[in-house]
Chain A
């Protein structure tokens, strides 16, 4: 049955209102060929763009790659030397104990990431950078921890052993340091250690403040600092919230000095004055408390007057 026409007459009925459509099936082989060619061109254009993108990406990757570095450096050869650069005391013996690089291994075959990871596991190594220097050299750059305190620890069997505390609060074994350097480091007392999963310890809080305090003493009273045997952090509050936070220093001469973390320079000036006066009087000291507004000195029993005295 013929379809009934429903279109109304209209003044704006022009050929331009005819819907032009290319979506139907191509009628002729020429149209099919052209459509196929257009599709091919479109796909080709997209593929071309994709290829250009992939090429750029691959180029960037290559520029960043070891292969490019090797080409630029003239190729890889068996490793002939390993340079160690450090800001600390670790040396080639430590290096040989820590890593092993097989003889005649190609420079490119060296697992520099693995070496870096092994080194970073050593508590004394703060950071490690391992580089290939073409054609035949490996360069290792270390930043080491620097000790500020010693700490004596005891295992379950009762055996005691010595560890070092770095400025960052890291607890580590320490090796390669000169003996006199370690001898002059005060012991840390009253420190609570927390174990990490790998057997090492969490960094101790507050050590940066303690290190600053010790540095000031070392600068302002170097001859007195050498007498310091231990610093107790038992009453020290790293957060700075407590009003009764204290450092208690034990000296080799047998007396204790209590410092407040605040106004260290002033306390040191008072300490210098007190010690000078008492030493000139040949008095023996038991304890000096500088954490109060007025310094309190307790003299030893053998002193002529051994009661507490106040110094302003």
Chain B
């Protein structure tokens, strides 16, 4: 008899809350059976500033997704972003203890524990320990168990966040009567589906341009090397337009979506666009050049900040597969060209794999799709964590009653 788990992927952004519902059959196949977006409120720069407003938006989105799926979600995979997230690289090294110099499970346990043993401040907690490759006497190895060597090294990219802010995110979901089964960084969730294995092996930078924050992740040798979050997003472009053009946010957003570009072309110099578009009283013409220049400044500034955070790793040598841009901000025309210009690395818009239904081929769904990918693979980023819940008799009976 096939076993089915209904998982919800929740991406709480500054502009919208996206929920996808996936039916994972026998842990092997994923059917996306429901989706819902809701206008977000109470989120600023990826962090919750109004718990009730966020709860309202998120609960409405989950309820809508459940309704469209025709079933109830059993657990939630939740994305996490925000300026409070930080990361560091920590490594551990041990001498192989056995007389024949073969690596035992005990050696592996000791080195991984040591590499993850760095203490955090009292108000911080770990989100991920992302393991890089083992090194045995300087050689990179996948699984060192049973291999011969003297010194075993391993490194972890550890991501940690503010405990209160993470709790707030979890409690939003708990408030709907659901359990958070795993938390995945937005940049990692997006990168999982937007970059293919070959690009991850070669080296690629994934930039998720959100409304309130910009998340990035660097993949090298098939694993996540580094991650980062900037408290700048496409909402800032809207704000800049509203201030610079002296229009309200509503029209600024409309102008951005309709005429916005990240680069200025010669044909845009003389063109003027209508602010509202109905050419009635109150409507006025705005130079397109001014519009694009404001956007370009903010976009380039954002990529400059990314470049600064990434540091020396932002070079064609380190990133042979270039830069992939995704998220709602990736809808902006020529944003890839702007990225390429600032970062000095070939950039392109991210494209979802073919298995994703055409209805979901929108940059806004990339993070949620990545979350479902993690739910399907059944593997947590943390190598010592298991995320599967037991399916006991009581749980089955409860499920029978829809509880």
Contacts and interface: CB of A to CB of B under 8 A. Distances in A.
A31 B59 CA distance: 6
B167 interface: yes
B125 interface: yes
B122 A7 contact: yes
A44 B401 CA distance: 8
A13 B402 contact: no
A75 to B, nearest CB: 42
B175 A27 contact: yes
Interface in B81-133: 116-127
B18 interface: no
Interface stretch (B176-184, B195-203, B273-281): B176-184
Given A16-B385, A31-B59, A9 B177 contact: no
Given A18-B167, A30-B63, A9 B122 contact: yes
Contacts of A44: 401
B52 A38 contact: no
Contacts of B124: 13
Contacts of A35: 177
A15 B63 contact: no
Contacts of B167: 18
A7 B385 CA distance: 23
Contacts of B180: 20
Interface string B286-305: 00000000000000000000
A28 B52 contact: yes
A10 interface: yes
Contacts of B55: 27-28, 31
Given A30-B63, A38-B403, A42-B403, A9 B120 contact: yes
B183 A42 contact: no
Interface in B119-176: 119-127, 161, 163, 166-167, 170, 174-176
Interface string A21-32: 110101111110
B60 A30 contact: yes
Nearest to B59: A30
Given A42-B403, A45-B401, A31 B176 contact: yes
A16 B389 CA distance: 13
A35 B63 CA distance: 11
A21 B174 CA distance: 6
Those 10 A-B pairs whose CB atoms lie nearest each other, nearest first: A45-B401, A30-B59, A41-B402, A14-B126, A9-B119, A28-B59, A13-B125, A27-B175, A30-B63, A27-B55
Given A14-B125, A34-B63, 4 more contacts: A31-B55, A38-B403, A42-B402, A45-B400
